[in-house]
Amino acid sequence: MIAGVIQTTRLFKCVIGAVLLAVGSGSATYGVSALLFLTFSFAFNDWVDAPKDSVGHPDRAIPSGKITRGQAGYLWLGLLVSGLVCLELFLSEYLVSFAVMYLLSISYSFFLKPNVPLLATPVWSLAVAILFVQPFTLEPLAFIAFASCMYGYELLLDYRDKDADRQFCKTPTLANLLGTRTSVVAGLFFVIGGILFAQLLFT
């Protein structure tokens, strides 16, 4: 089960992101809150996507039997409660923004991705942008720049998952609509994000 917990929470990837945020922001508490949010988001997404992952990602923790869907449910619930309690006790100044991020993450996995995937990826990209930008600046352009790069990355993941998404999503993803042109469009979003970051740095 431990291997399943590590895999379904993408623990190593999340720890790296959380450490970078803790060091960059100078707040270990922010890093812990970020870790709880990210691991919750991945576990919740895997719990929701278990039927789709049995087709598109059979090696993931739930389809492969490393962790049951019920255990994954208890895991994401525990992470959600722990994250909110941590914010309330130690990081109340970020309570509202993290609450928004949790709502965006839940909406992405539970409703938007299976029903309106064209909106889902921008919503998740925005949530991640808030997480990684807000400790450093509240400049709107920085959020847009980060979200643009994140959206380009997520488009590439959607293209990877295009067959399963075609089967399980009620409407097409942008990657399904673009086909092989997805990488070009994703590249454009990376370029846009890079230009916006450059503008922030040199103005």
Rounded distance, CA 30 to CA 95, Å? 11
Q: Which two tokens stand for residue 94?
A: 């970020």
Sorted by sequence, the CB contacts under 8 Å of residue 102 that are 6+ apart come out as: 37, 40, 80, 83, 84
Residue 110 within any structural domain of the chain: no
Domain edge (last residue) among 74, 101, 128:
101
**SS3 state of residue 25:** helix
Same domain, 189 and 162: yes
DSSP code string of 99-111: HHHHHHHHHIIII
Q: Looking at the whole model, is its pTM more than 0.85?
A: yes
Same domain, 120 and 201: yes
Per-residue pLDDT of the chain (203 residues; tens, 9 = 90+): 899 999 999 999 999 999 999 999 999 999 999 999 999 999 999 999 999 999 989 999 999 999 999 999 999 999 999 999 999 999 999 999 999 999 999 999 999 999 999 999 999 999 999 999 999 999 999 999 999 999 999 999 999 999 999 999 999 999 999 999 999 999 999 999 999 999 998 87
Same domain, 31 and 60: yes
